[in-house]
Protein backbone atom coordinates (compact mmCIF):
# COMPACT_ATOMS: atom_id res chain seq x y z
CA UNK A 1 0.00 0.00 0.00
CA UNK A 2 1.44 3.37 -0.96
CA UNK A 3 1.52 6.23 1.50
CA UNK A 4 -0.74 8.25 -0.79
CA UNK A 5 -3.37 5.52 -0.83
CA UNK A 6 -3.13 5.16 2.93
CA UNK A 7 -3.70 8.88 3.44
CA UNK A 8 -6.69 8.83 1.11
CA UNK A 9 -8.10 5.79 2.90
CA UNK A 10 -7.76 7.47 6.26
CA UNK A 11 -9.37 10.66 5.01
CA UNK A 12 -12.32 8.83 3.49
CA UNK A 13 -13.06 6.18 6.06
CA UNK A 14 -11.67 7.29 9.45
CA UNK A 15 -10.30 4.01 10.72
CA UNK A 16 -10.64 4.75 14.42
CA UNK A 17 -13.97 5.19 16.18
CA UNK A 18 -12.87 7.50 18.96
CA UNK A 19 -15.16 7.79 22.00
CA UNK A 20 -15.99 11.35 20.95
CA UNK A 21 -17.65 13.94 23.11
CA UNK A 22 -18.49 12.00 26.23
CA UNK A 23 -20.45 14.11 28.69
CA UNK A 24 -21.06 13.14 32.30
CA UNK A 25 -23.29 15.17 34.59
CA UNK A 26 -24.76 14.49 37.99
CA UNK A 27 -28.29 13.07 37.71
CA UNK A 28 -31.07 15.43 38.78
CA UNK A 29 -33.37 12.47 39.40
CA UNK A 30 -32.34 8.84 39.31
CA UNK A 31 -30.44 6.19 41.18
CA UNK A 32 -28.91 7.25 44.48
CA UNK A 33 -26.44 4.37 44.60
CA UNK A 34 -24.81 2.03 42.06
CA UNK A 35 -27.09 -0.56 40.47
CA UNK A 36 -25.71 -4.05 41.15
CA UNK A 37 -26.52 -6.47 38.34
CA UNK A 38 -24.38 -9.42 39.56
CA UNK A 39 -23.55 -10.06 43.25
CA UNK A 40 -20.95 -12.65 44.25
CA UNK A 41 -21.51 -14.57 41.03
CA UNK A 42 -25.32 -14.54 41.36
CA UNK A 43 -27.36 -12.89 38.57
CA UNK A 44 -29.60 -10.16 39.96
CA UNK A 45 -30.68 -8.25 36.84
CA UNK A 46 -32.94 -9.05 33.92
CA UNK A 47 -32.25 -7.66 30.45
CA UNK A 48 -35.41 -6.08 29.03
CA UNK A 49 -35.83 -5.57 25.27
CA UNK A 50 -38.62 -4.82 22.84
CA UNK A 51 -40.85 -7.74 21.90
CA UNK A 52 -39.13 -7.93 18.51
CA UNK A 53 -35.87 -6.01 18.85
CA UNK A 54 -33.93 -4.98 15.72
CA UNK A 55 -31.07 -7.23 14.67
CA UNK A 56 -28.44 -4.82 15.96
CA UNK A 57 -30.02 -4.84 19.42
CA UNK A 58 -30.41 -8.63 19.49
CA UNK A 59 -26.77 -9.04 18.51
CA UNK A 60 -25.63 -6.67 21.25
CA UNK A 61 -27.81 -8.29 23.91
CA UNK A 62 -26.32 -11.66 23.04
CA UNK A 63 -22.83 -10.23 23.54
CA UNK A 64 -23.90 -8.66 26.83
CA UNK A 65 -25.10 -12.02 28.17
CA UNK A 66 -21.96 -13.76 26.92
CA UNK A 67 -19.53 -11.26 28.44
CA UNK A 68 -21.30 -11.09 31.82
CA UNK A 69 -21.32 -14.88 31.87
CA UNK A 70 -17.62 -15.12 31.05
CA UNK A 71 -16.77 -12.50 33.67
CA UNK A 72 -18.86 -13.78 36.58
CA UNK A 73 -20.34 -17.16 35.70
CA UNK A 74 -23.82 -15.59 36.01
CA UNK A 75 -26.38 -15.82 33.21
CA UNK A 76 -28.66 -12.80 32.90
CA UNK A 77 -32.24 -13.53 31.84
CA UNK A 78 -33.76 -11.78 28.81
CA UNK A 79 -37.39 -10.68 28.75
CA UNK A 80 -39.70 -8.24 26.99
CA UNK A 81 -41.36 -7.52 30.34
CA UNK A 82 -39.81 -5.67 33.26
CA UNK A 83 -39.13 -7.98 36.22
CA UNK A 84 -41.41 -7.87 39.26
CA UNK A 85 -38.37 -7.61 41.51
CA UNK A 86 -34.65 -7.18 41.02
CA UNK A 87 -32.78 -4.76 38.75
CA UNK A 88 -33.61 -4.34 35.06
CA UNK A 89 -31.27 -3.43 32.22
CA UNK A 90 -33.42 -1.87 29.51
CA UNK A 91 -31.71 -2.15 26.11
CA UNK A 92 -33.26 -0.17 23.26
CA UNK A 93 -36.70 1.36 22.85
CA UNK A 94 -38.69 -0.56 25.46
CA UNK A 95 -41.98 0.92 26.68
CA UNK A 96 -40.24 2.05 29.86
CA UNK A 97 -37.46 3.77 27.92
CA UNK A 98 -39.98 5.52 25.70
CA UNK A 99 -41.77 6.80 28.82
CA UNK A 100 -38.55 8.54 29.91
CA UNK A 101 -38.67 10.87 26.90
CA UNK A 102 -34.89 10.90 26.49
CA UNK A 103 -33.80 13.89 24.42
CA UNK A 104 -31.01 12.88 22.05
CA UNK A 105 -30.84 16.37 20.59
CA UNK A 106 -28.47 16.43 17.63
CA UNK A 107 -26.65 13.30 18.72
CA UNK A 108 -25.15 11.21 15.93
CA UNK A 109 -27.24 8.15 15.07
CA UNK A 110 -24.42 5.93 16.35
CA UNK A 111 -24.33 7.73 19.70
CA UNK A 112 -25.94 6.44 22.88
CA UNK A 113 -27.06 7.14 26.41
CA UNK A 114 -26.38 5.01 29.48
CA UNK A 115 -28.20 6.08 32.64
CA UNK A 116 -29.69 4.78 35.85
CA UNK A 117 -33.08 6.53 36.20
CA UNK A 118 -33.95 4.51 39.31
CA UNK A 119 -32.18 2.51 42.01
CA UNK A 120 -33.05 -0.76 40.28
CA UNK A 121 -32.86 0.30 36.62
CA UNK A 122 -30.18 0.81 33.97
CA UNK A 123 -30.98 2.09 30.48
CA UNK A 124 -28.85 1.65 27.36
CA UNK A 125 -30.32 3.29 24.27
CA UNK A 126 -29.35 5.25 21.19
CA UNK A 127 -31.30 7.29 18.63
CA UNK A 128 -30.98 4.33 16.23
CA UNK A 129 -30.57 0.55 16.66
CA UNK A 130 -26.89 0.95 15.76
CA UNK A 131 -26.55 3.54 18.50
CA UNK A 132 -28.07 1.13 21.01
CA UNK A 133 -25.69 -1.61 19.86
CA UNK A 134 -22.69 0.67 20.33
CA UNK A 135 -24.13 1.61 23.72
CA UNK A 136 -24.01 -2.02 24.84
CA UNK A 137 -20.41 -2.38 23.70
CA UNK A 138 -19.56 0.89 25.44
CA UNK A 139 -21.25 -0.44 28.58
CA UNK A 140 -19.13 -3.61 28.44
CA UNK A 141 -15.92 -1.66 27.89
CA UNK A 142 -16.60 0.82 30.70
CA UNK A 143 -17.95 -1.43 33.42
CA UNK A 144 -16.52 -4.87 32.63
CA UNK A 145 -13.27 -3.77 30.87
CA UNK A 146 -14.12 -6.03 27.91
CA UNK A 147 -11.94 -5.69 24.81
CA UNK A 148 -12.26 -7.28 21.37
CA UNK A 149 -8.61 -7.50 20.44
CA UNK A 150 -8.81 -9.86 17.46
CA UNK A 151 -11.61 -11.28 15.29
CA UNK A 152 -13.18 -14.46 16.62
CA UNK A 153 -13.98 -15.87 20.03
CA UNK A 154 -10.30 -16.10 21.00
CA UNK A 155 -9.89 -12.37 20.53
CA UNK A 156 -12.41 -11.39 23.21
CA UNK A 157 -10.77 -10.40 26.51
CA UNK A 158 -13.10 -10.46 29.54
CA UNK A 159 -11.58 -9.92 33.00
CA UNK A 160 -13.13 -11.99 35.79
CA UNK A 161 -15.32 -10.35 38.43
CA UNK A 162 -17.54 -11.56 41.27
CA UNK A 163 -19.75 -8.47 41.40
CA UNK A 164 -20.76 -5.91 38.77
CA UNK A 165 -22.21 -2.57 39.89
CA UNK A 166 -23.11 0.25 37.53
CA UNK A 167 -22.36 3.84 38.64
CA UNK A 168 -25.15 6.41 38.72
CA UNK A 169 -23.43 9.03 36.55
CA UNK A 170 -25.19 9.21 33.15
CA UNK A 171 -23.16 8.77 29.96
CA UNK A 172 -23.80 10.50 26.64
CA UNK A 173 -21.35 9.40 23.98
CA UNK A 174 -21.07 9.59 20.23
CA UNK A 175 -18.35 8.79 17.69
CA UNK A 176 -15.84 11.45 16.68
CA UNK A 177 -16.43 10.66 12.99
CA UNK A 178 -19.83 10.11 11.42
CA UNK A 179 -18.59 7.31 9.12
CA UNK A 180 -16.01 4.74 10.18
CA UNK A 181 -14.95 1.85 7.98
CA UNK A 182 -11.95 -0.44 8.18
CA UNK A 183 -11.66 -2.38 4.92
CA UNK A 184 -10.20 -5.41 6.69
CA UNK A 185 -13.21 -5.43 9.00
CA UNK A 186 -15.75 -6.39 6.37
CA UNK A 187 -17.13 -9.82 5.56
CA UNK A 188 -16.11 -12.48 8.07
CA UNK A 189 -14.55 -9.86 10.35
CA UNK A 190 -17.52 -7.48 10.36
CA UNK A 191 -18.71 -8.55 13.82
CA UNK A 192 -15.30 -7.75 15.34
CA UNK A 193 -15.14 -4.40 13.53
CA UNK A 194 -18.57 -3.31 14.76
CA UNK A 195 -17.64 -4.15 18.34
CA UNK A 196 -14.72 -1.77 17.89
CA UNK A 197 -16.97 1.03 16.68
CA UNK A 198 -16.86 0.57 12.91
CA UNK A 199 -19.94 1.60 10.92
CA UNK A 200 -19.56 2.95 7.40
CA UNK A 201 -22.52 5.27 6.91
CA UNK A 202 -21.32 7.03 3.73
CA UNK A 203 -21.33 5.15 0.41
CA UNK A 204 -18.10 5.78 -1.49
CA UNK A 205 -17.17 2.44 -3.05
CA UNK A 206 -16.89 1.58 -6.75
CA UNK A 207 -20.41 2.16 -7.98
CA UNK A 208 -20.61 3.51 -11.54
CA UNK A 209 -21.17 -0.07 -12.72
CA UNK A 210 -24.47 0.13 -10.79
CA UNK A 211 -25.37 3.70 -11.69
CA UNK A 212 -24.92 2.91 -15.39
CA UNK A 213 -25.92 -0.73 -15.12
CA UNK A 214 -25.52 -2.48 -18.51
CA UNK A 215 -28.72 -4.38 -17.74
CA UNK A 216 -30.51 -1.01 -17.87
CA UNK A 217 -28.61 0.93 -20.54
CA UNK A 218 -26.82 -1.52 -22.87
CA UNK A 219 -29.66 -1.67 -25.40
CA UNK A 220 -31.08 1.85 -25.09
CA UNK A 221 -27.86 3.82 -24.60
CA UNK A 222 -24.79 1.87 -25.77
CA UNK A 223 -22.99 5.22 -26.13
CA UNK A 224 -22.77 5.36 -22.32
CA UNK A 225 -20.13 2.64 -22.45
CA UNK A 226 -16.47 3.10 -23.43
CA UNK A 227 -15.04 3.09 -26.92
CA UNK A 228 -11.88 0.97 -26.70
CA UNK A 229 -9.55 0.45 -29.69
CA UNK A 230 -12.31 1.65 -31.99
CA UNK A 231 -14.96 -0.74 -30.65
CA UNK A 232 -17.76 -0.16 -28.19
CA UNK A 233 -17.20 -2.22 -25.03
CA UNK A 234 -20.52 -3.41 -23.60
CA UNK A 235 -19.75 -4.98 -20.20
CA UNK A 236 -21.76 -7.62 -18.41
CA UNK A 237 -23.90 -6.76 -15.40
CA UNK A 238 -21.71 -6.45 -12.30
CA UNK A 239 -18.44 -6.23 -14.22
CA UNK A 240 -15.72 -3.77 -13.18
CA UNK A 241 -13.56 -3.82 -16.32
CA UNK A 242 -14.77 -0.49 -17.73
CA UNK A 243 -15.45 3.17 -17.10
CA UNK A 244 -18.41 5.05 -18.61
CA UNK A 245 -18.04 7.41 -21.54
CA UNK A 246 -18.22 10.54 -19.41
CA UNK A 247 -18.87 12.80 -22.44
CA UNK A 248 -21.79 10.81 -23.90
CA UNK A 249 -24.84 13.02 -24.55
CA UNK A 250 -27.48 12.50 -21.87
CA UNK A 251 -25.29 10.47 -19.50
CA UNK A 252 -25.41 13.09 -16.73
CA UNK A 253 -29.19 13.45 -16.92
CA UNK A 254 -29.64 9.66 -16.89
CA UNK A 255 -27.40 9.39 -13.85
CA UNK A 256 -29.27 12.11 -12.00
CA UNK A 257 -32.58 10.39 -12.71
CA UNK A 258 -31.24 7.09 -11.35
CA UNK A 259 -29.89 8.76 -8.19
CA UNK A 260 -33.18 10.56 -7.53
CA UNK A 261 -35.00 7.25 -7.98
CA UNK A 262 -32.62 5.61 -5.50
CA UNK A 263 -33.36 8.20 -2.80
CA UNK A 264 -37.09 7.96 -3.52
CA UNK A 265 -36.90 4.21 -2.95
CA UNK A 266 -34.49 4.49 0.01
CA UNK A 267 -35.68 7.53 2.00
CA UNK A 268 -33.37 6.75 4.93
CA UNK A 269 -30.23 6.73 2.77
CA UNK A 270 -27.89 9.68 3.38
CA UNK A 271 -25.50 9.27 0.43
CA UNK A 272 -24.98 7.78 -3.01
CA UNK A 273 -21.58 6.68 -4.25
CA UNK A 274 -20.10 8.10 -7.46
CA UNK A 275 -16.98 5.98 -7.03
CA UNK A 276 -15.46 4.93 -10.35
CA UNK A 277 -15.28 1.26 -11.27
CA UNK A 278 -12.29 -0.81 -10.22
CA UNK A 279 -10.62 -0.58 -13.63
CA UNK A 280 -8.48 1.66 -15.85
CA UNK A 281 -10.37 0.90 -19.08
CA UNK A 282 -11.36 4.47 -19.91
CA UNK A 283 -13.25 5.59 -22.97
CA UNK A 284 -11.07 6.48 -25.98
CA UNK A 285 -13.67 8.38 -28.00
CA UNK A 286 -12.52 11.75 -29.39
CA UNK A 287 -14.52 13.74 -26.82
CA UNK A 288 -13.04 11.84 -23.86
CA UNK A 289 -9.45 11.77 -25.14
CA UNK A 290 -9.66 15.52 -25.75
CA UNK A 291 -10.05 15.94 -21.99
CA UNK A 292 -6.90 13.91 -21.25
CA UNK A 293 -4.21 16.34 -20.03
CA UNK A 294 -1.48 13.92 -21.09
CA UNK A 295 -0.03 13.60 -17.58
CA UNK A 296 0.60 10.31 -15.81
CA UNK A 297 -1.00 9.86 -12.41
CA UNK A 298 0.90 8.38 -9.49
CA UNK A 299 0.60 4.91 -11.00
Q: Around Cβ 28, how many Cβ atoms within 10 Å? A: 6
User: So what's the pLDDT on residue 29?
Assistant: 63
User: So what's the pLDDT on residue 30?
Assistant: 81
User: So what's the pLDDT on residue 65?
Assistant: 98
pTM above 0.95, yes or no: no
Cβ distance 25 to 206 under 8 Å? no
In sequence order, the 6+-apart residues with CB closer than 8 A to the CB of 249 are: 223
Cβ distance 144 to 159 under 8 Å? yes
Q: What angle do CA 220, 221, 222 make, to 5 degrees?
A: 110
For residues 287 and 31, which has the higher predicted lDDT (pLDDT)? 287
- For the chain, the straight-line distance linking the first and the last C-alpha, in angstroms and rounded, comes to 12
Q: Could you read off the pLDDT of 128-159 as tens digits, one per residue?
A: 999 999 999 999 999 999 999 999 889 999 99
Max distance between CA atoms of the chain, in angstroms, equals 79
Q: What is the mean pLDDT of the chain?
A: 90
Amino acid sequence: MTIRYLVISLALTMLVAAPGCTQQTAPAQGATHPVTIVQDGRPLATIVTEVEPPGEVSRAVGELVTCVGEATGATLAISSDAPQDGPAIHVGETAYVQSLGIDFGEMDGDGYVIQAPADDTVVIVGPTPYGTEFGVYGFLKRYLSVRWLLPGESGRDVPTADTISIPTEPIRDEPAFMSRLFSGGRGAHNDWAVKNGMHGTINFHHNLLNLYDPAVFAETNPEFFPLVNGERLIPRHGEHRWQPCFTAPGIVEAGVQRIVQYFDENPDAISYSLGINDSNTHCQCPSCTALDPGRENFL
